[in-house]
Copies of this chain bind each other. A is one copy, B any other.
C-alpha cells in the first residue's frame, strides 16, 4: 500500500488508562488525546502523530496505531513509564472522577516535528501545556488550518501562554465549563463570541451528549450529537470529534463555513461510534459505509419538514 503524505499533524498525550464504569472495569487501555484524534483523523487522510511513550508501551498498541495507518515518525519513545490515568465514571456515564494521574515520561515531553510534518497544512494541538503548543507552532512552516484544544488546568495555571496560542490559531475547542472558566461568561454563546474576538475564525464549544456549538464570523451552527443507544466508554469522545473533524476537513482541503459545518458533523458521527466501546475499539470496526450511513441519519434528524 502506498504511503500517504501527512496532511494532518496531531500533538498531544498518549496514555495507558484504567477506566471504571458502573458496568465494567478495564485496565491499561490505550488512551490519550493523540491516540483517539489520530485514529479518527487517519480514517480520512494521512495523519502524523507527535507524542511520547515509555519503554513499557505495549507493542500491540504500536501495531494498533499502524493498523489505523497513522504515521509514527513523530512518536518518541523515552526511558521510563508511559503516562497513566485512572478514572471512574458515575451512573450518568458523563461525570467522572480522576483517581490517579502519573505523568511519567510525559512530564518532560518536548514535541519535535519530523521534517515531513513541518509542511503539513492541518495541525491539531490536542490538550497539552500551552507552552508546548507554542513550541509546535514555531515549527510549523505552511499551516493552512490550526486548531487547539485545552483544559481547565491550563486556564488556571498558564493563562498567559494559552492566550498566546489562542491568538495564533484558526479554531479553538473548549468544553462548556472550560469556556465559562476562560471567559468569565456563563452564557455559552457570549463566551464563544468573546473567544472569537481574541483572534480565531472558529470557536467550538463542546457539550458532550448535547452536541456542540460553532461560532464563527458567519454565524452560529448547532452541532447535534448523534444519539447512541448505549455508551460504553465516553473517554476520548472530544478527541475523536476533533480528529475526525480535522481529518475530514483536510481530506477535502477547502476550509470555509460550509466545509467546517460538514466536518463538524463527521466529528459528531465518529465520536458516536467511539463511545460505543472502550478505548479505540469503536473506531477499529469503522467503515466509510457506517460513517456515511449515520451521517445521513443525522442529517435526517436535523431536517425540518
Binding site for B on A (CB under 8 A): 92, 186-190, 207, 210-211, 213, 219-222, 224, 227-230, 257-259, 261-262, 265, 299-305
Chain B residues within 8 Å of A207, by CB:
210
In the complex, are the beta carbons of B305 and A302 less than 8 A apart?
Answer: no
Chain B residues within 8 Å of A230, by CB:
187
User: With A258-B305, A262-B304 in contact, do A220 and B227 touch (Cβ < 8 Å)?
Assistant: yes
User: With A188-B227, A229-B187 in contact, do A262 and B222 touch (Cβ < 8 Å)?
Assistant: no
- Cβ of A163 to closest chain B Cβ, rounded Å: 24
In addition to A219-B300, A220-B227, 14 A-B residue pairs with Cβ atoms within 8 Å of each other are A187-B230, A210-B211, A220-B301, A222-B224, A222-B227, A222-B302, A224-B224, A257-B305, A258-B304, A261-B303, A262-B304, A265-B304, A299-B304, A302-B302
In the complex, are the beta carbons of A302 and B304 less than 8 A apart?
Answer: yes
Q: How far is the CA of A210 from the CA of B303 in the complex (A)?
A: 17
Q: How far is the CA of A262 from the CA of B257 in the complex (A)?
A: 25
Identity of the chain B residue whose Cβ is nearest the Cβ of A210 in the assembled complex = B210
Question: Which of B211, B224, B229, B261 lies in contact with A305, CB distance below 8 A?
Answer: B261
Identity of the chain B residue whose Cβ is nearest the Cβ of A91 in the assembled complex = B186
Q: How far is the CA of A195 from the CA of B69 in the complex (A)?
A: 44
Chain B residues within 8 Å of A213, by CB:
227
Identity of the chain B residue whose Cβ is nearest the Cβ of A208 in the assembled complex = B210
In the complex, are the beta carbons of B224 and A301 less than 8 A apart?
Answer: no
Q: How far is the CA of A300 from the CA of B257 in the complex (A)?
A: 12
Chain B residues within 8 Å of A92, by CB:
186
User: With A213-B227, A230-B187 in contact, do A259 and B305 touch (Cβ < 8 Å)?
Assistant: yes
In the complex, are the beta carbons of A227 and B189 less than 8 A apart?
Answer: yes
In the complex, are the beta carbons of B227 and A301 less than 8 A apart?
Answer: no
Identity of the chain B residue whose Cβ is nearest the Cβ of A93 in the assembled complex = B186
Q: How far is the CA of A187 from the CA of B189 in the complex (A)?
A: 27
Chain B residues within 8 Å of A302, by CB:
221-222, 302, 304
Chain B residues within 8 Å of A211, by CB:
210
Chain B residues within 8 Å of A220, by CB:
227, 300-301
Q: How far is the CA of A228 from the CA of B265 in the complex (A)?
A: 23
Please name the 10 residue pairs, one residue from A and one from B, whose CB atoms are nearest each other, closest first. A258-B305, A210-B210, A222-B224, A189-B227, A262-B305, A222-B301, A220-B301, A261-B305, A261-B304, A302-B302
In the complex, are the beta carbons of B188 and A301 less than 8 A apart?
Answer: no
Residue of A207, A220, A222, A230 with most partner-chain B CB within 10 A: A222
- Cβ of A181 to closest chain B Cβ, rounded Å: 14
